[in-house]
Structure 1
Amino acid sequence: MKYKLGDFVRFVDEKMEGYVTRIIDEQMIGVTGEDDFEIPVLASKVTFVHGHAKLVGDEEEAEVAQVTIPAGEFKGKGVHVAVVPDQRANSVVHLHVLNETSYQLLASVSTEQNKQYKGEYAGIVEPRSHAKVYSAKLADLQLWPKLIFQVLFHTKQNQPVLAPLNITEQFKAKDFSGTKKLVPFINQLGWMIQLDEPELVIDAQKLKESFFKPAEEKQEVAKPKAEIDLHIEKLRDDYQFLSSSEMLNIQLSNFKHALDAAIVHQMPDITFIHGTGNGILKHELHKLLSKNNKVQTFMDARKEKFGYGATKVVLK
């Protein structure tokens, strides 16, 4: 198949043109025009529009810029999957391996569906750069295959040898429920999922053991309220004297404590009121929630009551 998602094509036999928004099989593609209606068509019945601008983010046509890493600023963490909508065919999203580290990444991306495997990308992702590795329709999220990311870290500098990453992701709707933010190096709004971040896991055994401690050792875990207000003025009286980072740490600490307590008491759900503001607190909450294996899903709480300033968490 010579066409890719997002390619701009023109019909051979009709005065129509649009973007490729679906690869149906080796002979058929779906093309969406200005009316947002997708038309199935034989690939042989369309042609590229010569001179049409290349799609933003098409790394196959771009040269990777060489990055000079300043001494003393070597960064060892920051491997993400960045998901950004196509700027012209909005129904299509492109997945990038985003490298915020100072390591050179040797990356391989494969898909697995019904025990059928397919290599999608293999290459080098330079420090502080990105590479497009996969494209799909966001509306077909439930049909996406599992994506297998394998990453080796390489550098000529005197730095520790990191263990390779081997991560399988089955993307779900909750991965895209948070607010989009500006993705570094791509300079488009999108979602970011960090691959080199340890999964937040509740140690069930330690939690269980705590219930069998002697009474003098056992710590009572109070059941939290159904709605937790994380506005800093609700948490500290001296908030005027705190820096932004100190405020954020206090808010995140209260969030983690309330979430753990809700899990212990087997609450069905809990709502965190974070406000709108600059969106940093909401982003940090959603990042932690997406890594917690006790969270079933999360979403904006009742908009008629909270607007977009609260997140409802449904627990397993």
Structure 2
Amino acid sequence: MKYKLGDFVRFVDEKMEGFVTRIIDEQMIGVTGDDDFEIPVLASKVTTVHGYQAGGADKTVTAEEKPVDLTEFEKKGVYVAVVADAKANSVVHFHLVNNTSFQLMVAFTTEKLQTFKGEFAGLVSAKSTSKIYSAQLADLQLWPRFIFNIIYSTKQNIEPPAPLVISEKFKAKDFSTAKKQVPQMTEPGWLIRLDEPEIVIDAQKLKESFFKPAEEKVVFVKPVSEIDLHIEKLRDDYQFLQSSEILQIQLAHFHKALDAAIVHQLPDITFIHGAGNGTLRNELHKQLGKHPKVQTFMDARKEKFGYGATKVLLK
């Protein structure tokens, strides 16, 4: 297969063009145009359009290593950055980010069902990045295991760290944080650190942890009168979460807000859960029905919320 995810292609027999957003098999690819509709097509029926580089420019520098003041020599800062394609949002590109002052010799391999494939091998200069892989965002659960072998090198009088050998199967929780500005790149993305900083154990704090009081005071912030439980209002990474995880997050937020309303003696509180398939609404009603501090509950004003909110009267 000569095409990669994010390649910009043009149909041979039609006046259409778009981005490769899926590799179906050795002969078929999925191409998404301006209408965001993915079209399956034979790879032989499209041709590459030059002039567009998916995922931004590769900033790997192959020039000679420049001397760095040893007091400013950065020994830590190796990441994988996951960045959405600028044109095809359903595709993400993985970049090896070298924010150290070392030159990195990188071998990157994927493994799926005991099948190994070398995806990238090369040098990543100090303070630079290199794109190493691309994948469909929606296929996160199907991504292969990533294997990194990284060796540090410098011509300066600095002892290099031990080589990094990392095997990682990324999960949705790895993308639970908000996007950040990626070092050495202009695009924001999710950062996964490969060279975790060394853990320094504070003996005094460790000792104090054994003598913490059994119960610590919990502070409840006074909630607003209307609590929106739509997952996109609670988490930035909701597109990576499974339905069961979404429900648990919504219920945890519900319980926290309800407890705060009770502590602050609010007369009532409204939870906006949406109509949807009714799963969240039914679960809220089940919890409210057996709560000792709940006087009653009902559908909130239909002219404002439709059937997508529940008003709770507290004792």
- What corresponds to 1:21 in structure 2? 21
Contact conserved, 2:79 with 2:98, CA < 8 A, in 1? yes
- What corresponds to 2:37 in structure 1? 37
Q: Deviations over 1:127-148 (max 9, x none)?
A: 0001111100111100000000
Contact conserved, 1:83 with 1:190, CA < 8 A, in 2? yes
Q: Deviations over 1:2-57 (max 9, x none)?
A: 1111111111122221100111122111111111111111100111224x333343
Q: TM-score, normalised by structure 2?
A: 0.64
Change (3 A) 1:159 1:200: closer
Distance in 2, matches of 1:98 and 1:299, equals 32
Contact conserved, 2:55 with 2:83, CA < 8 A, in 1? no
Contact conserved, 2:61 with 2:128, CA < 8 A, in 1? no
Q: TM-score, normalised by structure 1?
A: 0.64
Identity in percent:
56
The answer to whether residue 156 in structure 2 is matched with residue 164 in structure 1 is no
- What corresponds to 2:196 in structure 1? 197
SS of 1:59's partner is coil
Distance in 2, matches of 1:17 and 1:82, equals 28
Contact conserved, 2:76 with 2:197, CA < 8 A, in 1? no
Task: Map 1:1-316 onto structure 2 (within 5 A).
Answer: 1-50=1-50, 52-59=51-58, 64=62, 68-71=66-69, 72-197=71-196, 219-224=211-216, 302=253
SS of 2:44's partner is helix
Change (3 A) 1:19 1:77: same
Q: CA deviation at 1:176?
A: 1.3
Cα RMSD (Å): 3.7
Q: How many residues end up aligned between the 2 structures? A: 230
* Unaligned residue ranges in structure 2 (runs of 5+): 222-234, 238-244, 261-315
Change (3 A) 1:73 1:225: same
Q: CA deviation at 1:228?
A: 8.1
Q: Deviations over 1:205-257 (max 9, x none)?
A: xx9xx9xxxxxx9635534567788xxxxxxxxxxxxxxxxxxxxxxxxxxxx
Q: Deviations over 1:172-200 (max 9, x none)?
A: 11111211111111110101111010587
Contact conserved, 2:61 with 2:124, CA < 8 A, in 1? no
Amino acid at match of 1:2: K
Q: CA deviation at 1:70?
A: 3.3
